[in-house]
Amino acid sequence: MVDNFIGKNVKIGKNVKIWHYAYIGDNTVIGDNTVIGSLVHIDYNVVIGNNVRIEGMCYIPPLSRIGNNVFLGPRVTLTNDPYPPSNKLVGVSIDDNAILCASCVIKAGVRIGKNSIVAMGAVVTKDVKDNTLVMGIPAKPVYDYDTYVNKRREWEGIT
């Protein structure tokens, strides 16, 4: 029995861990030290940077670009067709150090900026600026990256 499907011309970096039942499409590039969770679908012509963590059940469509040190929580969905079903596709771009929390959805063609956070369940229909946390439906800026880090430290009991 085969647990995973890995397409043709896929380049996988060093120390990559791929959990059960993952799909990786043709011509995809995955950087070093990346973890891909169970039931993740990474379509064709995707580029994923180094030190990326993709939790279970995420969908990453063709033409998506993911930077370094990015976290995608469970069930994150990226899209690539703003007017389905059309013959013209465009990927999502996620810049370095971004965090996408569980079950958020990102519209085709959107850019998630460096050090940005997308809250759980958010629906992102417009670009997210660097160092910004967005939440809601549709997602709107709530506060900056430093505020997020301070809130996380408080939660963890770190002063």
Give the DSSP letter of residue 131.
Answer: T
For the record, the structure tokens of 133 come out as 């946390």
The strand pair at 5-6 and 77-78 is best described as: unpaired
So what's the pLDDT on residue 1?
45
* pLDDT score recorded for residue 96: 98
Q: How far is CA 145 from the centre of its chain?
A: 18
Paired tokens of 34: 């990346």
Which position has the token pair 């994923």? 48
Q: Is 62:42 a contact under the CB 8 Å cutoff?
A: no
Q: What is the 3-state secondary structure (H, E, C) of 75-105?
A: CCEECCCCCCCCCCCCCCEECCCCEECCCCE
pTM to 2 decimals? 0.95
pLDDT of residue 2: 63
Question: Cα separation of 41 and 83, whole Å?
Answer: 21
Place domain 5-156 in its CATH homologous superfamily.
Hexapeptide repeat proteins (2.160.10.10)
Q: What are phi and psi of 42, to 5 degrees?
A: -110, 115
In whole angstroms, what is the distance from residue 125 CA to residue 142 CA? 15
Report the side by side order of strands in the sheet with 11-12.
11-12, 29-30, 47-48, 65-66, 93-94, 111-112
Domain residue ranges in the chain: 5-156
The pLDDT of residue 159 = 73
pLDDT tens digits in sequence order for the chain, 159 residues long: 468 999 999 999 999 999 999 999 999 999 999 999 999 999 999 999 999 999 999 999 999 999 999 999 999 999 999 999 999 999 999 999 999 999 999 999 999 999 999 999 999 999 999 999 999 999 999 999 999 999 999 999 987
